[in-house]
């Protein structure tokens, strides 16, 4: 009898200690920029959606298709190393012939850059051997919630060349801006990225980074963002190693049951069935298309304390978000500043979105100046999400600058090293992940090297530069 009593007491203790509270990485307050989130369960609506417009659908510009250098509208669907046209050739081409060029080509032509820097950068950034799910989904998922769904539009550059941009061409530039140029966008995350294939590596399913996003935090975030604020956010809907960032559009929740809780600090638990809708990827198109929505269902217990406040939760389904995030995009600047002209023409939205930002892309950002003929710089440490570093390399009398990166160890896709040709020049190279050695050489007198930790964590590299 004593043994039985002791066993019951231990089980009661374990039950009380097993509340599924969100941890520091899952706190929904990360999304609460205005400090106005509602945490009382009874105050949170069971339905909600983005108020102004549903996020638009488009391709995520896969790396295996050469990103935005893909001639998606061409009968041959060329990707890498196709023939690039001179200004003289373009002046003799018809609108139909120019229309089949890639978004990267079209933007370089519009900017009057007939050396096609954006095309060449895309050709080196992407590889046919990349994972099929790698691309600009982080750019698309945020851009689709931040910018109006664009119409097809034709614009003329300073040399009189008329460039037809399909709706997806404009979307490609918006996604490219968010993913690769907007290096200082304020971004917040809830949850941690899972770096394991938990289908085959089942031992990692319950690790903190693969078990989240916490169910209670998810309920607080989606009901406040969509239900109360009518504002969207993006999320990785694959809880395993792949990253499928999607723009979240709306939700419909139902209370299935509730029970008195035995967990410490939890008064009751409510079982929720949540149907979440997101805008899905589509093939690129010339015409403006309506969002293509998909849905996914989750079931989970929401844990509520004696005051009616949500404090945590636990899933009953295997599927869940890996992490959620939202970002505040900056005005177009630097080499991409003229995207604004194209976007305004495609949406007639210039009247309420402000003027083109003509300042340097790096104006106001602290940087380390490297002005010797040659030298060294390096990065090593643990960084917060969105934390960045900037180096300005401007050797005296330089006409060509080379940089050799070694021992690069960063989080692929989320941590990025970007090399720009001067303060308003094009993006020349992107490094992400692990590289034993990477050499970048640019004919220019000034180079900016930017590092951004997209998700946070450890990162390092060593670099030496030289000039002639």
pLDDT of residue 304: 97
Its CATH architecture, for the domain 368-467, is: Sandwich (2.60)
**107 band by pLDDT with thresholds 50, 70 and 90:** very high
pLDDT digit string, tens, across residues 119-143:
999 999 999 999 998 999 889 999 9
Phi, psi of 25, rounded to the nearest 5 degrees: -80, -10
CA dist., res. 275 & res. 402, Å (int): 52
Place of tokens 């999400």: 385
CA dist., res. 397 & res. 403, Å (int): 17
- Looking at residues 382-393, what average pLDDT do you find? 91
Burial track 223-245 (b if 16+ CB lie within 10 A, e otherwise)? bbbbbebeebbbbbbbbbbebbb
CA dist., res. 166 & res. 396, Å (int): 43
Query: Residue 399's CB: how many other CB atoms inside 10 A?
Result: 10
Q: Where in the chain is the domain with CATH 2.60.120.290?
A: 368-467
Residues near 67 by Cβ (< 8 Å), separated by ≥ 6? Answer: 61, 104, 122, 125, 126, 135, 136, 176
pLDDT digit string, tens, across residues 203-235:
888 888 788 889 999 999 999 999 999 999 999
Mean of all residue pLDDT scores within the chain: 90
pLDDT of residue 12: 42
pLDDT of residue 120: 97
Q: Which long-range contacts (CB under 8 A, 24 or more apart) does 251-258 make?
A: 251/47, 251/48, 251/49, 251/222, 251/223, 251/226, 251/227, 251/275, 251/276, 251/277, 252/46, 252/47, 252/277, 253/46, 253/47, 253/219, 253/223, 254/46, 255/46, 256/299
Give the predicted TM-score (pTM) of the model. 0.88
Q: Which long-range contacts (CB under 8 A, 24 or more apart) does 195-202 make?
A: 195/241, 196/240, 196/241, 197/240, 197/241, 198/239, 198/240, 198/241, 199/240
Helix (H, G, I), strand (E, B), or coil: what is residue 162? strand
pLDDT of residue 358: 55
In DSSP terms, 345 is beta-bridged to none
Is the pLDDT assigned to residue 6 strictly greater than 60? no
**Both tokens of residue 254?**
């139902």
The answer for 305, left when phi > 0, alpha when psi is -120 to 50, beta otherwise, is beta
Is the pLDDT assigned to residue 15 strictly greater than 80? no
pLDDT of residue 277: 97
pLDDT digit string, tens, across residues 22-69:
998 899 999 999 999 999 999 999 999 999 889 999 999 999 999 999
pLDDT digit string, tens, across residues 398-427:
999 999 999 999 988 778 999 999 989 999
Listed range (210-214, 304-308, 450-454) with the worst mean pLDDT = 210-214
In DSSP terms, 326 is beta-bridged to 188
Query: Residue 273's CB: how many other CB atoms inside 10 A?
Result: 15
pLDDT of residue 9: 39
Helix (H, G, I), strand (E, B), or coil: what is residue 19? coil
**Which stretches does DSSP call E strand in 169-267?**
186-190, 233-236, 245-260
pLDDT of residue 10: 39
Is the pLDDT assigned to residue 2 strictly greater than 60? no
Residues near 282 by Cβ (< 8 Å), separated by ≥ 6? Answer: 57, 58, 59, 289, 292
Query: Residue 135's CB: how many other CB atoms inside 10 A?
Result: 26
* Half-sphere exposure for 304 (CA within 13 Å, toward CB): 23
- Looking at residues 433-457, what average pLDDT do you find? 92
Is the pLDDT assigned to residue 179 strictly greater than 70? yes
**Both tokens of residue 360?**
């340097």
Q: How many residues does the chain have?
A: 468
Is the pLDDT assigned to residue 348 strictly greater than 90? no
Residues near 430 by Cβ (< 8 Å), separated by ≥ 6? Answer: 121, 124, 125, 180, 416, 417, 418, 419
């Amino acid at each position: 009898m004593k043994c039985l009593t002791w066993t019951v007491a231990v089980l009661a203790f374990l039950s009380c200690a097993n509340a599924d509270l969100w941890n520091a990485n899952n706190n929904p307050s990360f999304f609460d920029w205005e400090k106005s989130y509602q945490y009382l369960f009874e105050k949170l609506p069971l339905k909600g959606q983005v108020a102004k417009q549903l996020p638009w659908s488009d391709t995520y510009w896969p790396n295996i298709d050469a990103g935005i250098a893909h001639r998606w509208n061409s009968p041959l669907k060329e990707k890498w190393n196709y023939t690039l046209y001179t200004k003289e050739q373009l002046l003799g081409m018809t609108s139909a012939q120019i229309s089949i060029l890639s978004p990267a080509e079209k933007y370089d032509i519009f900017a009057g850059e007939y050396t096609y820097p954006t095309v060449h950068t895309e050709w080196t950034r992407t590889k046919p051997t990349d994972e099929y799910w790698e691309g600009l989904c982080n750019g698309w998922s945020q851009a689709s919630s931040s910018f109006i769904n664009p119409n097809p539009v034709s614009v003329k550059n300073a040399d009189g060349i008329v460039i037809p941009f399909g709706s997806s061409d404009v979307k490609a530039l918006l996604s490219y801006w968010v993913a690769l140029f907007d290096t200082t966008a304020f971004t917040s995350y809830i949850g941690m990225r899972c770096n394991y294939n938990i289908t085959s590596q089942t031992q990692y399913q319950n690790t903190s980074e693969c078990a989240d996003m916490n169910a209670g935090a998810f309920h607080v975030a989606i009901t406040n963002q969509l239900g109360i604020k009518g504002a969207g956010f993006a999320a990785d809907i694959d809880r395993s190693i792949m990253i499928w960032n999607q723009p979240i559009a709306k939700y419909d929740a139902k209370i299935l049951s509730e029970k008195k809780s035995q967990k410490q600090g939890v008064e009751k638990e409510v079982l929720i069935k949540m149907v979440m809708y997101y805008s899905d990827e589509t093939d690129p198109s010339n015409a403006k298309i309506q969002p293509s929505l998909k849905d996914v269902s989750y079931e989970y217990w929401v844990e509520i304390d004696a005051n009616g406040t949500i404090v945590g939760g636990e899933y009953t389904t295997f599927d869940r978000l890996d992490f959620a995030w939202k970002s505040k995009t900056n005005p177009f600047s630097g080499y991409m500043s003229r995207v604004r002209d194209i976007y305004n023409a495609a949406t007639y939205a210039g009247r309420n979105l402000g003027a083109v930002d003509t300042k340097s892309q790096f104006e106001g950002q602290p940087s380390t100046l490297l002005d010797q003929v040659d030298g060294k710089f390096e990065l090593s440490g643990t960084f917060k999400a969105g934390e960045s570093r900037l180096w300005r390399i401007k050797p005296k009398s330089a006409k060509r600058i080379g940089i050799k990166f070694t021992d690069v160890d960063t989080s692929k896709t989320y941590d990025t090293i970007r090399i720009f040709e001067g303060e308003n020049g094009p993006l020349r190279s992107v490094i992400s992940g692990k590289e034993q050695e990477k050499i970048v050489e640019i004919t220019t007198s000034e180079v900016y090297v930017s590092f951004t930790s997209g998700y946070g964590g450890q990162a390092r590299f060593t670099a030496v530069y030289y000039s002639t």
